[in-house]
A and B are shown apart, each in its own frame.
Chain A
Amino acid sequence: MEAIGKLREDIQKELEDVEFIIGWEQGFDALHATPLFIRSQEDIDRLIWNPLCVHNLASYLPQLKGRKVGVLLKGCDSRSVIQLLQEGLIQREEIVIFGISCPGVVDLSKIRARMNVSQVKRVSFAEGNVTIETPQGREEFPLDEVLATKCLSCQYPTPLIYDHLAGEALSPQRPADLLYKEVEEIEKLDVKERLAHWERELNRCIRCYACRNACPLCVCQDYCAADSRNPHWLSQRAGIGEKVMWHIMHALHVAGRCTDCGECERACPMDIPIQRIRKKINKEIKALFDYEAGVNTEDTPPLYTFQMEESTIREKDW
């Protein structure tokens, strides 16, 4: 059975026992999906599943703590849930997880960069290609060229945690050594060039905090130090200094917890490649603590523990 059929069937079975189930439906045009809060059979009929279902729906869960809900999760999204469970930010018994094996989702900004999408009429996916129809004509290109960068090194196409699974479990098809490719490119720059690179990119930040609010692990939300007025940690100004400071704050706050879902970057209305900042920290965490966030509910994030002697850091040899 097709994944969507299995999903609909499983959702129907569970719908009575939960307040709602979060999935995706078609958005305002053929190129956009949007989160769907399923409460009825009619809603189930509107459910879609395709490479446009980009949103990590786990981001809604911390604020729903205490209510029983269902959620659809791709492999990468399931890591957010594992991380939230580790930290006690959500309760397993309150969530029904519909896992979906996922061959990859698109990065809409990559599509926007290569064609005018202001009047998209139809989008279809077949044989590794995506076809986009506009009044100007049809464009067809390999899906790999517009997949989210995280998908190109995906090691978790099948959710690591679920109650129901739609689609055949997939084994990783993508090379893991591509994971830090973009980070390594930036590491090649000297410190001055790196700062210039980030000042150029971050200068268009508007401090709208879409990156924060879309992040499943940014649970402080309303009490974020970045816009707290009392105490006033960070200037209200929107100069490059404050912008850089905000992004460093966010990245450090999720250090050792970030599961590389990329919601921060996907949500950015200014298309700033901020996932790379988190990725760099993930790379350092991996090197220092041999730790990967969100793969095992029993783990404790490295910065949540203190040991006199870290097994992976040879302090005495320095």
Chain B
Amino acid sequence: MSNKGRFLATDKIPGLLKRLGGTYRVFAPVKVSDTVILFHEFKEGAQLALNKQATLPPKEILFPQTECLLSYTYHKDPENLEKSEVQVEETLEALPTIIFGARPCDARGLMVFDAVFNDGQWRDPYYKARRKATTIVTILCTQPENTCFCTSVGGGPTNTEGSDLVLTPVTGGYFAEPATEKGGALLQDEAFALGHNKADEAREEREKVSLESELELDGIAQCLLELFSTDFWKQVSAKCISCGACTYVCPTCYCFNITDETAGVKGERIRTWDSCMFYQYTLEASGHNPRPTKVERYRNRIGHKFSYHPTNYEGMFGCTGCGRCIKACPVSLDIRQVLREVKVHG
């Protein structure tokens, strides 16, 4: 990293976020209950929770759970009441935004989104505009959790890919280093002090982090294809209860549904998160469903992340190893164990 680092004392953070709030929408992890940490728009007095992974990743800021794509109104022709015209209004909103306190796995999750919505064959104007307007400030992980496996899927606790400004925890605060120009611009704020004496500590902190790459995933895309039509999926999905918790807490799951919701002569076309764990996910208009039970649905989840996605997007897994799916699963189904078994049986 560069030698342009600055020191950000912990007690300067609320002031910094407040000042940034004058120019940007600022989201930061906030404790909302005894156990839940969410990225909320920062307000003075909010209880920041920067030393733990947030319960949900910040994906909702760029890819809201519900988003209005357009609104429409029908106008009847007074001359001929059987005729009506529809007036459509675009509702794209992309305000300058800062995500403060993401984790390396969260930042990497947005790189998975970029490949799908920003850089690929189809470009999503809504995501694209928001992504451009967003600056990501990441806190490196000096204490990974026992559900973390980012190093197994190409990331790492001190990985800076996808971040604009990178914070390393040091005594009394964070050592901040820019990763992009956008991130560097934030360092102009008065909260950042000269930090020469903190650079070495930050480097040592990063070097101390140990998270072994525990999964051997070479060739897994092919193993998954070979297992496609086998009873393997019945065995590994037996305990799954087919809820959508794993997909909704996942920083890379991006499947969506589009619905027109009309009331009277007005309506909105909304996009909402979908989940491959739900029956309606691939239900066809004919009534046929190619993924009728949890067995096929669970196969889809693993297959998408570790076979179809890397095949379509230059080897990048649709998983950043954040471990939230393991923590959120009501039956503690461990995706790492499933991947190990795929390698054994595939």
Contacts and interface: CB of A to CB of B under 8 A. Distances in A.
Are A and B interaction partners?
yes
Interface of A: 20, 27-29, 32-37, 55, 59-60, 109, 112-113, 116, 118-120, 201, 204, 206-210, 212-214, 221-223, 227-229, 232, 235-239, 263, 266-267, 269-271
A33 B52 CA distance: 23
Tell which of A113, A236, A239, A263 has the most Cβ of chain B within 10 Å: A236
A203 to B, nearest CB: 9
A59 B35 CA distance: 26
B275 interface: yes
Contacts of A263: 330
A41 B195 CA distance: 61
A209 B244 contact: yes
B61 interface: no
Q: List 10 tightest A-B contacts by C-beta distance, closest first.
A: A267-B330, A222-B279, A269-B328, A118-B145, A213-B243, A113-B34, A210-B243, A34-B332, A27-B332, A35-B239
Contacts of A20: 238
A118 B249 contact: no
A118 B146 contact: yes
A116 B51 CA distance: 11
Given A237-B261, A269-B55, A210 B332 contact: no
Nearest to B289: A222
13 contacts: A28-B337, A32-B332, A37-B235, A60-B241, A204-B32, A206-B248, A207-B65, A221-B242, A229-B259, A236-B257, A238-B273, A267-B245, A269-B328
Contacts of B227: none
A214 B330 contact: yes
Contacts of B327: 269
Contacts of A60: 241
Interface of B: 32-36, 38, 52, 55-56, 65-66, 143, 145-147, 235, 238-239, 241-245, 247-249, 257, 259, 261, 270, 272-273, 275, 278-280, 283, 326-328, 330-334, 336-337
A59 B238 CA distance: 12
A32 B327 CA distance: 10
A221 B334 CA distance: 23
B55 A270 contact: yes
A263 B326 CA distance: 17
A269 B257 CA distance: 22
B264 to A, nearest CB: 15
B313 to A, nearest CB: 26
Nearest to B294: A63
A271 B146 contact: no
Nearest to B148: A118
Nearest to B292: A222
A209 B243 contact: yes
Q: Specify the main secondary structure of chain A where it touches its partner.
A: loop
B33 A271 contact: yes
Given A118-B52, A201-B33, A237-B66, 4 more contacts: A28-B146, A35-B238, A208-B244, A238-B66
B243 A214 contact: yes
Contact of A109 (B35, B241, B337): B35
A212 B146 contact: no
A204 B337 contact: no
Given A118-B143, A236-B270, A210 B330 contact: yes
Q: Specify the main secondary structure of chain B where it touches its partner.
A: loop
A204 B38 contact: yes
Contacts of A119: 143, 145-146
A229 B146 contact: no
A208 B253 CA distance: 13
Tell which of A204, A207, A208 has the most Cβ of chain B within 10 Å: A208
Contact of B334 (A28, A210, A214): A28
A270 B330 contact: no
Contacts of A271: 33-36
B332 A212 contact: no
A99 B337 CA distance: 29
Contacts of B35: 109, 112-113, 271
A233 B247 CA distance: 23
A71 to B, nearest CB: 13
Contact of A214 (B65, B241, B278): B241
Contact of A227 (B146, B239, B278): B278
A270 B243 CA distance: 14
A239 B66 contact: yes
B147 A267 contact: no
Contact of A269 (B34, B245, B337): B245
A237 B56 CA distance: 18
B29 to A, nearest CB: 13
A213 B259 CA distance: 24
B199 to A, nearest CB: 27
B332 A37 contact: no
Nearest to B247: A208
A37 B231 CA distance: 15
B239 A37 contact: yes
Nearest to B337: A28
A222 B287 CA distance: 13
Nearest to A263: B330
Nearest to B285: A230
Given A118-B145, A238-B66, A59 B241 contact: yes
Tell which of B257, B270, B272, B331 has the most Cβ of chain A within 10 Å: B331
Tell which of B270, B279, B332 has the most Cβ of chain A within 10 Å: B332
Given A28-B147, A237-B261, A237-B270, A208 B275 contact: yes
A235 B257 CA distance: 12
Contacts of B278: 209, 227
B66 A213 contact: no
A109 B235 CA distance: 29
A237 B272 contact: yes
Nearest to B328: A269
Contacts of A118: 52, 143, 145-147
Nearest to B147: A28
A262 B342 CA distance: 34
A141 to B, nearest CB: 15
